C-alpha cells in the first residue's frame, strides 16, 4: 500500500482484552477523529485505527502504514508491559524491552508515541531511547481523563501546534474541567537539532526560549529551575525542597467554613491524588501517613488530633520532594477544608501553603 509522504499518518492501536475491564476506546477514537476533522489543516493527517490489537499486529501495522504518530489506547501494567490481545481476544502482555526494540527499528519515521494507558511511563521511557517525543502515564488514569487528554492533544495538533504545546493543552483541558489527573501524563521530549532532553508534566512544560543557559549540566540535558514565588515579601517561612527548589511563602489570612460542611473523606482523597504525583524517595512514608489519616477518619468517633498529626507528617515528607512548589496551589483548597474540619486540632497544615487563620 502506498501513502502520500506529505500526509502524516496517525496510527491508533486499540486493545481491550475480554478478560480486562471495559474501556470507552470507541469514544476516544471518535474524539480524536473529530478533533482532526475540524482542523483547518485536516488534509495533513490521515488516521488509521486498528482494533483488538494483537502482539503480531504491531510490527505489521508499523510496516504497512509508516505512521508519524502512534497512539495506543488500552490497559497498562507498569513494568510488566502493555496489555494487547492474543488470538482468542484475551490479555497478552508485551514487554517494555520488546516495545523499545520494535520502535527502535522505526525511529527514522515515527516522531511521537502516545501511550494512553495506566502506568505506561516505564514503556515511554524505554521507547524514548529511540523516539523523540513519547507520552506515558505515571499512574492510573481514568477513562474520562484519558479521553479528554487525547481530545486536547489532537485539537492542538490539528491547529498546527508543536508536540510540547499539544501535550500542555491536553493536560490543561483536564485542569479546566476539574479532572484531578492533569499531572498524570508525562512527556519525554528530545529536540534532535541540539539533543536537549526534557521530562515534564504540564505544570513545567515551558517554551524552549525560557530555558536559561546556566540550567544545562555537563550531559547537556535541561534541568528545571524550580524557584517559585507565591506573593510579595516573605512574611512567614521559606520551604526548601531539593536542588534549587525554593518557594517563598507569604502568609495570607483567611476564614474557615463550619466543620460539619466539610466532607473530610473527599478532601483526603483529593490530597492523596495530588501528593501521589510527586516523585520522592519518601513515597511510602507519605502514603502511610495519608493511610493513617484515612483510617482514623473512618472510625465512628475519629480523633481529630491524630488526623492532624498524620497530615502534618505527610506534608513534612512531601515538602522535601522536587516539584512540591508546583502542587502548592492545588493543595490549598483541600487543606483549607481539612483545617476547617479539624478545628482547633489544625496544627500547622495551613502554614505549609502560606496561609493562616
Question: Residues 39-77: pLDDT tens digits?
Answer: 877 888 999 999 999 999 999 999 999 999 999 999 998
pLDDT in tens, 252-273: 455 677 888 888 998 898 888 8
Q: Does domain 8-215 have CATH number 3.30.70.270?
A: no
DSSP 314-338: HHHHHTTSBTHHHHHHHHHHHHHHH
Confidence bin at 306 (pLDDT 50/70/90) = very high
Cβ count near 87 (within 10 Å): 9
Three-state DSSP class for residue 55: helix
pLDDT of residue 278: 83
Is the separation of the CB atoms in 247 and 228 below 8 Å? yes
Confidence bin at 355 (pLDDT 50/70/90) = low
Domain ranges (residues) in the chain: 8-215, 237-356
Lowest mean pLDDT among 96-110, 154-168, 212-226, 316-330: 212-226
Q: b/e per residue, 206-225, with b = 16+ CB within 10 A?
A: beeeebeeeeeeeeeebebe
Alpha carbon distance 151, 174 (integer Å): 10
Confidence bin at 232 (pLDDT 50/70/90) = very low
Is the separation of the CB atoms in 271 and 290 below 8 Å? yes
Tell me the whole-structure pTM to 2 decimals. Answer: 0.58
More confident call, 237 vs 290: 290
The residue among 209, 166, 216 whose CA lies nearest residue 195 is 216
Alpha carbon distance 269, 254 (integer Å): 23
With cell 502554614, the residue in question is 351
Alpha carbon distance 81, 62 (integer Å): 19
pLDDT of residue 24: 95
User: How large is the average pLDDT for residues 166-192?
Assistant: 91
Average pLDDT for the chain: 81
More confident call, 25 vs 199: 25
Please name every residue paired with 90 in a beta bridge, in sequence order, or none if there are none.
Answer: none
Amino acid at each position: 500500500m502506498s501513502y502520500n509522504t506529505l500526509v502524516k499518518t496517525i496510527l491508533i492501536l486499540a486493545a481491550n482484552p475480554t478478560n480486562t475491564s471495559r474501556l470507552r476506546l470507541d469514544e476516544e477514537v471518535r474524539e480524536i477523529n473529530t478533533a482532526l476533522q475540524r482542523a483547518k489543516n485536516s488534509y495533513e493527517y490521515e488516521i488509521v485505527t486498528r482494533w483488538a490489537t494483537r502482539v503480531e499486529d504491531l510490527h505489521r501495522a508499523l510496516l504497512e502504514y509508516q505512521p508519524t504518530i502512534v497512539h495506543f489506547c488500552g490497559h497498562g501494567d507498569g513494568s510488566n508491559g502493555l496489555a494487547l490481545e492474543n488470538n482468542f481476544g484475551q490479555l497478552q502482555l508485551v514487554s517494555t524491552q520488546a516495545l523499545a526494540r520494535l520502535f527502535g527499528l522505526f525511529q527514522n519515521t515515527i516522531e511521537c508515541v502516545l501511550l494512553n494507558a495506566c502506568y505506561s511511563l516505564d514503556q515511554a521511557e524505554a521507547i524514548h531511547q529511540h523516539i523523540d517525543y513519547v507520552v506515558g502515564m505515571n499512574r492510573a488514569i481514568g477513562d474520562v481523563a484519558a479521553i479528554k487528554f487525547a481530545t486536547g492533544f489532537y485539537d492542538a495538533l490539528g491547529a498546527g501546534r508543536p508536540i510540547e504545546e499539544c501535550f500542555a493543552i491536553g493536560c490543561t483541558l483536564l485542569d479546566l474541567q476539574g479532572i484531578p489527573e492533569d499531572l498524570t501524563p508525562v512527556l519525554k521530549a528530545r529536540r534532535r537539532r541540539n539533543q536537549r532532553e526534557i521530562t515534564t508534566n504540564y505544570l513545567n512544560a515551558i517554551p524552549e526560549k525560557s530555558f536559561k543557559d546556566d540550567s544545562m549540566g555537563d550531559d547537556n540535558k535541561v534541568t528545571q529551575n524550580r524557584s517559585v514565588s507565591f506573593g510579595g515579601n516573605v512574611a512567614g517561612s521559606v520551604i526548601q525542597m531539593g536542588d534549587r527548589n525554593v518557594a517563598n511563602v507569604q502568609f495570607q489570612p483567611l476564614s474557615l467554613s463550619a466543620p460539619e460542611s466539610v466532607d473530610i473523606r473527599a478532601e483526603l482523597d483529593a490530597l492523596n491524588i495530588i501528593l501521589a504525583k510527586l516523585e520522592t524517595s519518601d513515597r511510602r512514608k507519605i502514603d502511610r501517613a495519608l493511610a493513617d489519616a484515612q483510617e482514623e477518619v473512618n472510625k465512628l468517633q475519629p480523633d481529630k488530633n491524630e488526623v492532624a498529626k498524620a497530615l502534618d507528617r505527610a506534608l513534612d515528607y512531601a515538602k522535601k520532594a522536587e516539584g512540591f512548589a508546583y502542587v502548592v496551589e492545588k493543595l490549598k483548597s483541600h487543606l483549607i477544608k481539612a483545617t476547617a474540619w479539624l478545628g482547633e486540632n489544625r496544627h500547622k497544615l495551613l502554614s505549609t501553603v502560606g496561609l493562616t487563620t
